[in-house]
Structures are given as C-alpha cells and as structure tokens.
Amino acid sequence: MSRLADHVRNKRIVICCGAGGVGKTTTSAALAVAAAQDGRRVLVLTIDPSKRLAEALGVTANTPDPIRVSPEREAEAGIRGGALSAWMLDPKQVSDATVARLVRDPARARELLDNPIYQQVTEMIAGMQEYTAMEALHGFVERDEYDLVILDTPPARNALNFLDAPRRLGEFLDGRIFQMLLPDRDGGGRLGGTTRRMASKVLGGVFGDEFYADLQVFFAAFSSIFAQLNGNAQKMRERLQQDDAIFLLVTSPVRTALDDALYFEDRIRELELPLGGLILNRSRHDVEDKPFPGPELLPAHATEVHKAALRNLRRLAERERQHEQEHQQLLSTLIEHAPADIEVLTVPEVPGGIDDLEGLGGLARWLLDDANAHLGAAAT
Amino acid sequence: MSLVPILDRRVVLVSGKGGVGRTTASAALARAAARAGKRVLVTEIEEPAAQTQSSLARMFGREVLPTRPVLLAPGIHGCVLSTEHGTEQFLGDVFRVQTLARMALRNAALRRLLHAGPSFHEMGVFYHLLHLIRMTSPDGRPRFDFIVLDMPATGHTLALTGLPDILLRLVRRGPIASALREGQGWLNDRRTGTAIIVTIPEPLPVTESLELVAGLRSTRMDVGAIFVNRIPVDPFDDAQRAALAELLPDGPLYGKEELERLERARLSIERLREHARVPLVFVPQFDADGVGATEAMAEHLSEELRR
C-alpha cells in the first residue's frame, strides 16, 4: 500500500498546499473521495472551487453547515459505506460564528457584528482568509463528526503563505497595538503618554479623525476576542504538529517545480510540521503504451492528401511524445531529489479538467494506486 | 481592438489563473510597449515570504526586483509594489514634516499595525502604485507612461480593484480617502486604466476568465482585452481533415491527445467569442521559454496591438 493510501485511511487532518493554478482543489476533492470510498466520514473544506467542481460536490456559498453529498451521487464516485461532505469556506461566516460563540452577552455580540469596521474586517485583515481556514479546521476537528478533514488552502502565488498567515495575524493581534488604539482610560497605561499622543496624532492624521474614532471603538470592543482567536490559532498550529495530521504539496509540471518542492520541504521541516508527500499533478509522463502513427495507417490507394495528413499527424504525435518525455524527466528529477521518506505521486493530465464525481472517483483510484507512488531517492 | 488602444493607457493590470502564461504576457506587453516608444514600468506585488524568487524578474534575466525602479531592458524599468514602501511613502507625503513620519515608523507596534491591519496591506500596495503613476521626469512629463502590473491570483486582483470602494465606505475624509479617490481616478477611467485577462483555450480557464470579466466589471474596472495564449496550430486543411478520419485507428495512438486539444481550443475560442464581449488577442504557442518566449510574444503583440 502506498503511504498516501495509508494516510487517507488513517490520518485525521490532511492539508493540501500549493501555488495557485496547480489543481489543488481538485486534488483535495479526489483525496476526500478516496477516503470516503474507503468507508470513512470525510469533510473537504475548500475556499474557492471552480463553479463546476462546486456543482459536482453539491456545495454553494454561504451555507451554515457542510453539505453531505447525496447517496446516489456518492455511488457515482464509487462511495459505498463512507460519507462525503463538502463546505465552501466563507471567512465572514466563520468569523461571525466565532464572535457569537465567544461573546456571551448577546447585546454585546450584536454591537460587534453591527460595527461598520467589523463588517469589512474579514475581507480586510491580512491573512484573515488563512486564519478563518484554520479556525474552521479547528472547529470541525474538535467536533468529531468526521473521521477525516481535508483542507484545501487559500490560493496564493506561494504555497507557504498559508503557513505564514497565522504568524502575521498574530503580530497584528499583538497586545501593544491594542494598547495604542484603546481609548485613554487610565492616563497612559503601560505605554506612557508620549507614545500614545504620538500614535494618536499619526493615526488621526492618516485616517482622518472620524475614522480614527470608529477604529478606537472597534478595537475596544474587539480586544478580548482577538486575544482568544490568537490562542486558537496557536493551538491549531500545535495540533498540526501531531502525527495524525499531514501536509501535502501539490505542484504542476513547470520548470520551477523542483525548486518549489525543495523550498517547501525545508520550510515545513523548520516549522516541525509533518510532510506527507509531493503530488505532481497534470503529469503527461508516459502512462500507456501506444503506437506512433506510421505509413501502415495509409489506405491502399493513398492520395497525396492522405500522405500530407499523415505528415501533420506525425508532427502532432511528435509534440505529444516530447511533452511526455519532459514530464518524465521532471518526475525523475523530483524522485531523485526527494528524501527517502517522502513519496512523490503522479496524477495524470485529464483533458478538459475534472468536473464530476465520477471523474473525481477515477482520480481517487489513481492517487491510491501503488504504481503511481515513488519513494524519494535522496539520502536523508 | 477597443476604442482606446491598450498601449495608450497609463496602467494595465494583467490578471489570470496560475499557469496560463500571465507573467510571460506581462513581460511581453512591457516589451511591446517599449518598442512603441513608451517609458515602461513593469511591476508585481511583493510577496510576504521574502525568499520567493520572482518569475517576472526572471523574464528579464534577474532573480528579484527591488522596491525602486531599475532598468531591466531598453525603455523598461521594473520594481515590486511593496506594502512597506507604500506606507512609508504615504506617511512621508502626509506629514510633510518628516520627523513625525520617521518617529511613527520607528515605533514597532505602529509599524506592525500599518503592515497587518485592516486593508493596510493592499493600501500600501495601492499607494506605492499611485506614487509610481505620479512620478515625473525633470521635463514635467510622467516618468513612466505605461505601467504593467502582473497581478497574483485572481482573488487578489479583485481585492485591489475593489479596495477603493470598500475603504471609502469607512474612510470618507482625510489623506487616505483622497489617495483612494486619486487612484480610483486612474484605474477606473478607461482612458487611463484597464485590465487584461490572460487565459488558454481550455474549458476551465475560459470559464474562470468569463467569471473574472464579470468580477472586474463589478469593481468598475475596464477589461481592455483577453489574451488567449498558447493557441495550438492546426496544421490540417479541410481536405486533410477528411483524409485524417480515414487514417485514425480506433485504439490509442500518439497524436490523438493533441487532436483533442485542437478541438477543445476551437470550442473554447468559440465560447469566448460568444460570451466575453471583450476584444480577443490570440497568441500562438511558442516553442521557446523564459526570455525567448517573452521576446517572441512581444513581437507578436506588437503586431496585434497595432491593428
């Protein structure tokens, strides 16, 4: 059994990372289908699926809870016994639910939810999308309704933005920032009058006094909540270091794939997070034996037109073969450089993309097939 | 082409899903503009993880781009748009007396707030862009009269183009509000600003491009063109097509996948023609890569954009 098959069968959290456009969402969904085929209760959390993939999974934006794929449709994906649910992550919704949970007094919760700054804040705070993904993951893992939660991380140019975001948010949530913004109740507090006066002058000048006043109200109402959110982010980070969680890097056959993978591996080890494997998506490396078009295709009384058509067909065939060779080369290089405990998996290019459960089911079987998994060859 | 030629705008945002050749297209557009005599600046948004190599820089044979414009090629400068740089610039412009700005920036907590706070990240980038638009040469003309911005993932594009409207709802007066209005003036006026969407002739990228056209319009951004990249060359004429049907066996064969790709490309282009209502610029598949590809594409764009 490949290690990935083992992860899908036994882990509780799988996090798919990767730059934008590599097919991360499809891969996450396929892994979810694979686990459900194996009889597990699976939830896939996704941020921004293409419309057709969302339709295939049966999810729409703004639903309060995950949506279970209907048994008839599960059968299309080869799922019998397991259960597949999907949820489209909505930062605003996660954030509202968190406020409602943490603020016991309903009147105070209302006040926060109605604050004009709060209403924009989920879209505005750097890293908020990544943070709410963490928060949602935290919630679902705690609740224990699912055997496995798969997180499709927010799209970014860099696969590691997701790992950096909670740290960035943590900096923002730094207590001293609040001190500076909170209304002056006790004649300066820890910060001292000079700093506070300067901050007030700078921020008033930058934002205009009106907005600065709104901002102070917002922060006064929010300071305790932020502290708690920060704690959750930290807890989740530690939770992800446990060995029932796994990170996967999804990459596509581009020239920078090797550099990207090595960099990712370095960083993830530095953060002491478990790397579960590299998935090379849309690979066209030779997967089936097929003949090359030759003169045997010509009919008995071939005309010049037939021959010209064959010449052009051979040109296309040559291009196709060249693509396969390039991808084969890239795969070999990845295997050669990946450490011996890391698995490199390939996913074939599916012409036109995958947009239904049947397609995801096929992709799932492919992902778990031993023949498509290669252990790295580099010494660790 | 559209009523206002692309090369006559001041700011062009190049957007598109990863892997469609967006960065190559940005670099090629910059080269095409430079050939047309424009003083070009090509930019991208700085990534928080500083170690990230820049593929845009690589198109000009460099590893990374600095925060201040440097000469990359004849007529083309390049730099990153940096939150931090934009914020410093902004504070400097707001507090003409530099002491307060400098004092503010020395305060660690304040620096962090400005770095990570509500929309400050986008705001910094936005202000940096505005600053570059405003720059003038000693003769009083704009320092750069054609600014290409290679945008990251499409969600970020809409975050930037939608920023002024969102923030202006909260901040109505003061220096941020006036900077936002000024920037909005450049971006949303189709005589000066436009967006180009790069895509490839495949079903999913085309679907996403059509969604992006709608998204950009909802932030009042003009879409100047869709670049349809990597159009596979169909080598068959009609007679050969008919003959081909007689040649192809039922089983697998090298070349069949490429034939299917030709068909998907044809259908994708048809869909774009029917639904996008935006000028389409077709870019063939080039064999070269890196610098070679941008040069080949620039050559092609120079022709296309002149029409």
pLDDT, one tens digit per residue, over A25-78 is 889 999 999 999 999 999 999 877 777 778 888 888 778 889 999 888 899 888
This complex has an ipTM of 0.79
Q: Which of A166, A167, A339, A157 is nearest to A265 (CA)?
A: A339
Average pLDDT, chain A: 81
**Alpha-carbon distance A215 to nearest alpha carbon in chain B (angstroms):** 10
pLDDT at A166: 61
B52 lies in which domain range? Answer: 4-82+123-306
Q: Which residue of B has its CA nearest to A351?
A: B261
Rounded to whole angstroms, how far apart are CA atoms A39 and A27?
A: 19
Q: Which of B110, B116, B119 sits opposite A171 (nearest CB)?
A: B116
Which string of DSSP letters, residue by residue, matches A251-320?
E-S-TTHHHHHHHHHHHHHHTT--EEEEEEEEE-S--S--PPP-GGGS-TT--HHHHHHHHHHHHHHHHH
Into how many domains does chain B fold? 1
Mean pLDDT within B254-280: 94
Dihedral sign for Cα A328, A330, A334, A337, please: positive
Those residues with Cβ within 8 angstroms of residue B38's Cβ, 6 or more apart along the chain or in another chain: B7, B75, B145, B146
**Alpha-carbon distance B131 to nearest alpha carbon in chain A (angstroms):** 16
Q: Is residue B244 part of a domain?
A: yes
The three-state secondary structure class of A56 is helix
Q: Is residue B21 part of a domain?
A: yes
pLDDT at B191: 93
Which residues of B, range 208-227, sit inside 8 Å of A by Cβ?
208, 211
pLDDT at A161: 67
Q: Which residues pair with B195 in a beta bridge?
A: B13, B223
Those residues with Cβ within 8 angstroms of residue A164's Cβ, 6 or more apart along the chain or in another chain: A127, B48, B49
Q: Is residue B187 part of a domain?
A: yes
**Alpha-carbon distance A334 to nearest alpha carbon in chain B (angstroms):** 19
Phi and psi at residue B224, to the nearest 5°: -75, -30
Please, what is the end-to-end C-alpha distance for chain A in angstroms? 22
Q: Is residue B118 part of a domain?
A: no
Chosen from B244, B266, B286 to mutate, greatest number of chain A CBs within 10 A: B244
CATH of the domain at B175: 3.40.50.300
- How far is the CA of B264 from the CAs of A26, A45, A243, A283, B298, in angstroms? 20, 31, 44, 19, 26
pLDDT in tens, B138-165: 999 999 999 999 997 666 788 788 888 8
Q: Is residue B34 part of a domain?
A: yes
Q: Which residues pair with A378 in a beta bridge?
A: A339
The pairing of beta strand A67-68 with beta strand B146-150: unpaired
Q: Which of A22, A123, A177 sits opposite B112 (nearest CB)?
A: A177
- Beta carbon pairs, A and B, within 8 Å: 223
Which pair of tokens denotes residue A94? 């996660």
Q: Is residue B8 part of a domain?
A: yes
pLDDT at A187: 46
pLDDT at A188: 43
Give percent of chain B with pLDDT exceeding 70: 86
- How far is the CA of A169 from the CAs of A220, B61, B206, B272, in angstroms? 18, 35, 35, 40
Q: Is residue B90 part of a domain?
A: no
Q: Which residue of B has its CA nearest to A260?
A: B52
pLDDT at B163: 83
Q: Which of B18, B112, B247 sits opposite A19 (nearest CB)?
A: B18
pLDDT at A171: 63
Rounded to whole angstroms, how far apart are CA atoms A328 and A287?
A: 10
Q: Is residue B103 part of a domain?
A: no
Question: Left (φ > 0), alpha (ψ -120 to 50) or beta: where does B76 sit?
Answer: beta
Which pair of tokens denotes residue A308? 């010209």
Question: Which residues of chain A fall below pLDDT 70?
Answer: 120-128, 155-193, 195-196, 221, 223-224, 226-227, 229-230, 287, 380
Q: Which residue of A has its CA nearest to B101?
A: A202
pLDDT in tens, B27-84: 999 999 999 999 999 999 987 655 566 889 989 999 889 999 999 999 999 999 988 8
Phi and psi at residue B136, to the nearest 5°: -125, 155
Residue B136: pLDDT band with limits 50, 70, 90: very high
Is the pLDDT at B195 greater than 90? The verdict is yes
Dihedral sign for Cα B214, B217, B221, B225, please: positive
pTM of the predicted structure, to 2 decimals: 0.81
pLDDT at B110: 63
Q: Which of A20, A312, A314 sits opposite B236 (nearest CB)?
A: A312
Chosen from A51, A180, A206, A280 to mutate, greatest number of chain B CBs within 10 A: A206
The identity of residue A248, as a single letter, is L
